[in-house]
Structure 1
Amino acid sequence: MGFECPSAAAVTTVHVTGFKKFHGVSENPTETIVNNLKEYMNKKGLPKGLAIGSCNILETAGQGALVPLYQALQSSINAKDSEFSSSNKIIWLHFGVNSGATRFAIERQAVNEANFPCPDEMGWKPERVPIVASDGAISGIRETTLPVEEITRALAEKGYDVMTSDEAGRFVCNYVYYHSLRFSEQNGTKSLFVHVPLFFTIDEETQMQFIASLLEILASVC
């Protein structure tokens, strides 16, 4: 695919998050996906060079998600420093649902703007405010360093209905992704956000197969 890592001994550890229910989505598919991921991959077989680290379900709330998110982000750095060599890689893989979507979306970027269309699960409804004030204007963008076009193309070649997206919204998904990208930039890790449809649109087994394929591709990403 053109982006294989040169070192066969390198290990990529993928830490995963999903979200709980929120307004209009009483059953979030990402909660099911992330809760079942380790068991599913153990049965299927993990790709060579890949390990699954933590799997966390976040509140669908800006401030409510931050404490567990940063605890998990920091613990992954601490584990890397104590257990793994510096040549090994960490990827943060975040899943969120787009209830109106009909296909998967690999998100390229997050915007420094919180402009929630409805209150989050803790009742917060920010309007056009920066996610991180010290980063400046709400027009600021952070992009993933992972090759989203190649990842999307590889998934499409496997038969999945998937697109690259430059718009992660302005709700909690974008909020979490922005913080994760910022942390990754500061700590030498990588971050990626993927939007999935409801199970009503793409069934659970197909979504699990999609994520297994995505993990296989990420195992090869430098």
Structure 2
Amino acid sequence: MILLTGFEPFGGDSSNPSWTAVLLAREILRAEGHEVEALELPCVFGESAAVLREAIGRLRPELIICVGLAGGRDRLSLERVAINCDDARIPDNAGNRPIDEPVIPAGPAAYFSTLPVKSALRALQIAGIRAEVSQTAGTYVCNHVFYTLMHELSSAAVAAQARGGFIHVPYDEAQLPRGSAAPSMAARDMGEGIAVVVRTALDAPVDAKLSAGAIH
């Protein structure tokens, strides 16, 4: 079982490309014979984490990939690190705006993704889909969900049977006004990119040793 999650719209947008891309990836992967469920998370601190935990407990997936929007980026970002910090620049969809609060009190400072991010990067490049390994998932609801996911997967009951991580996607080019210069990507490419990451995670128990770091 594979679980893919995206987010509802936030920040005044009428749609969220993370959810569009997840639905496309689900259909691509189901057509290949994979058992895949898709879940739309609320863009709300706390509530998003609770919905994710419930789905993990109910579905017992072997692979969980959460997806969110990173407006301003022009490629898929394979997130490497989730940090134990909620620090909201804007309120969430329920009006919450935590500042310098832990995602999990007494939790570790950070968790690393257990996806083979370097192998996935190489597979995406071969597929002609723009991608990068990102060193920060921010401090908004995306990171909140990413940290929650990795905290759940760190438990002895889950860690032996599941892997997971987070992908940020750009704006969907179809949702931008005509002539907009904002970085974007076609939704179909985002969906195929997520499917590439899923295939790689299922096939690569050990990550490739490639340079994909950052100087700043």
TM-score, normalised to structure 2, is 0.82
1:24 Cα deviation from its structure 2 partner: 4.1
Given candidates 120, 125, 142, the residue that maps to 1:156 is: 125
Instruction: Determine helix, strand or coil for the equivalent of 1:96.
Output: strand
Given candidates 32, 45, 52, the residue that maps to 1:62 is: 45
Given candidates 188, 193, 207, the residue that maps to 2:166 is: 193
Instruction: Determine helix, strand or coil for the equivalent of 1:110.
Output: strand
1:96 Cα deviation from its structure 2 partner: 0.4
| 2:15 aligned with 1:17 | no
Aligned residues: 191
Instruction: Determine helix, strand or coil for the equivalent of 2:23.
Output: helix
The runs of 5 or more residues in structure 2 that have no matched partner are 174-183, 206-216
| 2:94 aligned with 1:122 | yes
The farther-off stretch of 114-123 and 19-28 is 19-28
| 2:174 aligned with 1:218 | no
The runs of 5 or more residues in structure 1 that have no matched partner are 1-12, 81-89
1:190 Cα deviation from its structure 2 partner: 1.3
Using a 3 Å threshold, how does the CA distance of structure 1 residues 39 and 160 change in structure 2: closer, same or farther?
A: closer
* Whole-angstrom CA distance in 2 between matches of 1:132 and 1:29: 27
| Number of the residue aligned with 2:74 | 102
Q: Letter of the aligned partner of 2:10 in structure 1?
A: F
The farther-off stretch of 27-36 and 111-120 is 27-36
* Whole-angstrom CA distance in 2 between matches of 1:36 and 1:104: 15
Q: Letter of the aligned partner of 2:16 in structure 1?
A: N
Using a 3 Å threshold, how does the CA distance of structure 1 residues 40 and 146 change in structure 2: closer, same or farther?
A: closer
Runs of 4+ in structure 1 over 6 Å off: none
1:211 Cα deviation from its structure 2 partner: 2.1
- Cα deviations by residue, 1:47-80 (Å, 9 ceiling, x for unpaired): xxxx333210000111221221111011133xx7
